[in-house]
Amino acid sequence: MTPDASSESAPRRSRTVPSPRPLRRMTARGRNEAHRVASPLELFFDLCFVVAIAQAGVQLVHSVAEAHAAEGILNYAMVFFAIWWAWMNFTWFASAYDNDDALYRVVTLIQIAGVLVLAAGVSKAFEDHDFLLVLLGYVIMRMALTVQWLRAARNADGAERRMALRYAGGVVVCQIGWVGLVLLPESARPWLFLVMAIAEMCVPLLAEREFNTVWHPHHISERYGLFTIIVLGETIAAATIAVKVGVDENDALGELLPIASGGLLIIFAAWWIYFVVPIHGHLSSSRKAFLWGYGHYVIFASAAAIGAGLEVAVEQAVGKAHISTPAASAAVTLPTALFLLTVWALHARHYKVGTAQQLVLPVTALAVALCTFLGDWAVLAAGVVTALAVAVGVTLTARMAAREEREEAVAGASAT
């Protein structure tokens, strides 16, 4: 959905949602509704979506480890788009229209079933270029959301009703286009993906020309933050299992300890850097929230790819991967650098004051990328660099806070 500050002018109908009933009117929730947090259904929704992300990560590991990185990255980008786009559309819709009745819950569970179908088809999409199950799962998710939009349209009027109907119609039309993934020759599929991805992302722009959905900034920032935590958690789990298997099967603790230590530092620093800023303030006052929401495709995809890269590095260290050490290192350092740069561009820079604070993350991203060429110590070096970035950021913030306190004390003394 398209977030926009102008949605504050839209009608607000704040309410406390009672226990679920079979049917309840689906009307817009209040943008300033108090105590709005993620629901248990939304948390369950996120956890099930990470199943599909984990499957995509596993296949990316196999592709990169077998020296098919370009093909693997393309398939990963395509599958991850389907996962992310369905998750994001549900998240913005729920922020505006979640009425938590029984029908809403059932339709949301159908979307969860769709992502599980998609997850079941990931391996065939990577290995056999057969996207039938991926397409089927995606269509299930998207058509379920169409039902939700039609419900919203039924209880709206005027511009709001037209917006909901445009969403429903746009989603249906796009599903017809995606059928080309199983009908067109393999060489044409990347181009179809590009065209259809752009078409999907244009639906919110066209649907909300007259009326902007009333999403909740605190709720949206929490939902994105929780999904980031879950993705980073899956990254830690995948990397831990890879290290454990490497130690158990190859007795290679000495070779794997630098990778494990560096990977842990990278993930800890990624969490710290993402959550150090109160992003809901930016969302509640800026039209750039649209770019922020879309840009999380890169943040989520790169965060998940870090875990896949750590698995590749482990496999290379124990002799299972058919790639060079720099190539294995790049599988970790490049997605880490991309994560840092994207978080800075879309997220953190809005709360950085002064040139020094603004340069920390871009310079760190460059330094992490350069760590690729440090051989067996590349991952550990990248972890140390990201940890130092956190330390530098904390120091600069503390110094600025101390300076502001001194200035306020001087001003207060002067006033008296």
Q: How many other C-beta atoms can be found within 10 angstroms of the C-beta atom of residue 358?
A: 14
Q: When comparing pLDDT for 28 and 6, which is higher?
A: 28
Amino acid 10: pLDDT: 43
Amino acid 412: pLDDT: 67
Q: How far apart are CA 174 and CA 256, in angstroms?
A: 46
Amino acid 83: pLDDT: 93
Amino acid 11: pLDDT: 44
Task: Supply φ then ψ for residue 157, to 5 degrees.
Answer: -150, 170
Amino acid 46: pLDDT: 92
Q: Which pLDDT tens digit goes with each residue over 366-395?
A: 999 999 999 889 999 999 999 999 999 888
User: Under a CB-based contact definition with an 8 Å cutoff, are residues 147 and 109 in contact?
Assistant: no
Amino acid 287: pLDDT: 65
The pTM for the full model equals 0.88
Amino acid 408: pLDDT: 67
Query: For every residue of 90-150, which 3-state class applies, written as one string?
Result: HHHHHHHHCCCCHHHHHHHHHHHHHHHHHHHCHHHHHHCCCCHHHHHHHHHHHHHHHHHHH
Confidence of residue 311 (pLDDT cuts 50, 70, 90): very high
Whether the predicted pLDDT of 209 surpasses 90: no
Q: How many other C-beta atoms can be found within 10 angstroms of the C-beta atom of residue 409?
A: 10
Whether the predicted pLDDT of 238 surpasses 90: no
> Quick one: fold of 218-415?
I/LWEQ domain (1.20.1410)
- Window from 2-16, 205-219, 292-306, 326-340 with minimum mean pLDDT: 2-16
Tokens in use for 350? 């809005």
Amino acid 328: pLDDT: 93
Quote the percentage of the chain above a pLDDT of 70: 90
- Window from 64-78, 304-318, 340-354, 375-389 with minimum mean pLDDT: 340-354
Q: When comparing pLDDT for 410 and 48, which is higher?
A: 48
Q: Return all residues near 215 (Cβ < 8 A) that are at least 6 apart.
A: 1, 3, 7, 31, 92, 95, 96
User: Under a CB-based contact definition with an 8 Å cutoff, are residues 244 and 313 in contact?
Assistant: no
Mean pLDDT across the chain: 87
Quote the percentage of the chain above a pLDDT of 90: 58
Indicate the domain borders of the chain: 5-27+39-215, 218-415
Give helix 378-415 / helix 354-370 axis angle, nearest 10°.
Answer: 180
